[in-house]
Amino acid sequence: MKAISAKKEKWFVEAAFPGIRRCKKDTFRVEKEIFSGRTKYQKIYIFESLGFGKMLALDGIIQFSQSDEFIYHEIIAHVPLMTHPDPQRLLVVGGGDGGVLREARKHPLKEMSLVDIDEEVVGIARQYLPFVSQGSFTDKRLTLAFQDGREFIKAHKNHFDIIVVDSTDPVGPGKALFQGDFYKSVHEALTEDGIAIFQLGPFLDFDIIIKGTVEKLSKLFTYLNPVRLPMPSYSCGCEYCFLMASKKVDPAKLALPVLKRRLQQRLGAKAADLKYYSPEMHLASLVTPKIWRLKKR
Ligand code: SAM
């Protein structure tokens, strides 16, 4: 009998954090290693995968893939921005790959700020993954800060209309962005009709990550809405969840014609470039399965 010669394959095995994330490890076939290194804060690994394109992992956790990052970045940026009646100032906490900025800058904002703890992530992503930021870091409206988001935000009161928390998971440097004092500072940094959105976790991690965040945020904000999206490259395999917190505007009351009008007024021809976000998808992302329905609204 002839032996089958096994081709040498390299696989990336995602890290697991029992008790913080559900204990499941996804694997991706590595076609080519692009960058591997360690910064002061975290391990960075960039590779070309079979099927998902280029991927970024921080501390062993997949941050995005080239094939589906547009879903994540369009939803986390456009849903809060389109919910706000007139957003002028935006802050991104984390988001060092520049994907949130790429989407947010399509809006006629006056100011954009981004604070990431790790300057090296920004430099490495700009060098090896330029398709994510697409020149956003040179936008004249942008102020960049390299510092812990938890400290940065304390110096700002009643300033931002929108805050997007695009952090890593609650392990390593990202842990600070899941604490009660950080949520309080986010609330204080927002204007009176301000809206924040937090990247959270997979559908099945409701009890592990989402519930605790809801409990902390519901003490501060009037309206809390889970925002659903598919994320095929994440450990959930599909259903992923952000949490949108609003002081004054009830996201559930936004009607389709209002969103359609806003999209045309604010993005104009740029709206045609969106691949996932649409006013219909906006409303669909706010529809929650029964298990996710929050008591406080
Ligand atoms: N989409 C991603 C995900 O699923 O987790 C998040 C992407 S983004 C690359 C996460 C960024 O958060 C990283 O660049 C990391 O340096 C930054 N970060 C982590 N902890 C932070 C902190 N305490 N303050 C500011 N930025 C932080």
User: Which is the catalytic residue, given 166, 181, 193, 205?
Assistant: 166
How many C-beta atoms surround the C-beta of residue 64 within 10 A?
25
Domain parsing of the chain, residue ranges: 2-65, 69-292
Cα 121 to ligand 1 centroid, rounded to whole Å: 9
DSSP per residue, 19-50 = TTB-S---EEEEEEEEEEEE-SS-EEEEEEET
Contact yes or no for 21/169 (Cβ under 8 A): yes
How many C-beta atoms surround the C-beta of residue 177 within 10 A?
24
Going by their DSSP bridges, the two strands 89-94 and 160-166 should be labelled as parallel
Cα 45 to ligand 1 centroid, rounded to whole Å: 14
Q: Is 118 in the pocket of ligand 1 (CB under 6 A)?
A: yes
Of ligand 1's listed atoms, the one at least distance from the Cα of 97 is 9
Active-site residue flag, 166: yes
Integer Cα distance of 138 and 105 in angstroms:
11
Grouping H, G, I as helix, E, B as strand and the rest as coil, residue 98 is coil
Q: Token pair of 191, please?
A: 């204007």
> Is domain 2-65 given the CATH code 1.20.120.50 in the classification?
no
DSSP 4: P
Report the interhelical angle of 180-189 vs 211-218 (nearest 10°): 50
Place of tokens 């008790």: 19
Of ligand 1's listed atoms, the one at least distance from the Cα of 61 is 5
DSSP 97: T
Q: Is 129 in the pocket of ligand 1 (CB under 6 A)?
A: no
Same fold, 2-65 and 69-292: no
Cα 34 to ligand 1 centroid, rounded to whole Å: 20
Per-residue pLDDT of the chain (297 residues; tens, 9 = 90+): 455 555 689 999 998 776 666 667 889 999 999 999 999 999 999 999 999 999 999 999 999 999 999 999 999 999 999 999 999 999 999 999 999 999 999 999 999 999 999 999 999 999 999 999 999 999 999 999 999 999 999 999 999 999 999 998 888 899 899 999 999 999 999 999 999 999 988 877 777 778 889 999 999 999 999 999 999 998 766 789 999 999 999 999 999 999 999 999 999 999 999 999 999 999 999 998 777 776 544
Question: CATH assignment of 69-292?
Answer: 3.40.50.150
Nearest residue to 123 via CA among 139, 90, 103, 146: 146
Amino acid code (one letter) for 93: V
